Amino acid sequence: MADGLLDPRRIRELAAELDLRPSKQRGQNFVHDANTVRRIVAAARLVPEDVVLEIGPGLGSLTLGLLEAVAWVHAIEIDGRLAGRLTATVAERQPGNECRLTVLEADALQVAALPDPQPTALVANLPYNISVPVLLHVLAGFPTIRSGLVMVQAEVADRLVAPPGSKVYGVPSVKLAWYCEAHRVGSVPPPVFWPVPNVDSGLVRLERRQPPPTTASRQQVFSLVDAAFSQRRKMLRSALSGRYGSSALAAEALERADIDPQARGEVLGVGDFARLAEVAPGG
């Protein structure tokens, strides 16, 4: 029932009650359209047994939609006023569902553990300025998460799903590919938010997969990715010269990994980086 969700009037009433002035720094743009909430929940392909981790629930728009669809929601909210109000909002709009909600007042980048039940899905409207670090942190820290749907700035969505060789392929694309397959599954226009942002949003669906087979650690692979893209226009033998000791040694390492030393980082997939990370400097 639509009246179990928040509408624009109730969003503004809650904000007034909390004396809340949405923070641009924290990316506080609240969805006030019930149809959009339902579309996000449907696109996440959740099952009733799912336990969802939601980052930045805000006033509770998406939280309410999720509680209609899944067994449990863990909501992490950095703003104390919002965290303190969320359970009561759920109790008012969906009496009884507050018993299936855990609210943690915390910075998502600092959360390393959650109480049981452990999350099986991530569904979140991620703050634009920290969306990629939060996403990678959560995927690394909570291996029980097998799928997800995140709403991020459209430009970030394009980067997350970009394939090797595309113009926007970069560090976020490679690192996310370590954990997941990612697909762009929709767009969300600015008018469904309050306040209205000056950018479009994109929906990215995630499916957990095994990382590439490699003897290198994730940290070693990611360090190599950072080095390769730190000087994007340079050939890999030059971009990685600092890591391997010289351009010539970097070229040797690339050749041992069956990678063209004259290639640039944006043409390598995550499996290529994993293979290259096995070639130790000077090895």
What does the pLDDT read at residue 269? 96
What does the pLDDT read at residue 80? 94
What does the pLDDT read at residue 25? 59
Which domains, from first to last, does the chain contain?
2-208 (3.40.50.150), 218-277 (1.10.8.100)
The answer to whether the bond into 117 is cis (omega within 30° of 0) is: yes
Q: Per residue in 107-149, pLDDT tens? A: 999 999 999 999 999 999 998 788 999 999 999 999 999 999 9
Cα–Cα dist 210/239, whole Å: 28
Rg of the chain over CA atoms, in angstroms? 21
Cα–Cα dist 158/164, whole Å: 12
47: enclosing H helix or E strand:
none
What does the pLDDT read at residue 139? 98
What does the pLDDT read at residue 1? 40
What does the pLDDT read at residue 282? 53
Backbone φ/ψ region at 255: left (φ over 0), alpha (ψ -120 to 50), beta: alpha
pTM of the full structure = 0.92
What does the pLDDT read at residue 132? 95
Regions of the chain short of the pLDDT cut 50 = 1-2, 283
Which is it for strands 147-153 and 201-208: parallel, antiparallel or unpaired? antiparallel
What does the pLDDT read at residue 61? 95
Distance (Å) of CA 149 to CA 21, 68, 159: 27, 16, 15
Q: How many helices (H) and strands (E) does the chain have?
A: 12, 9
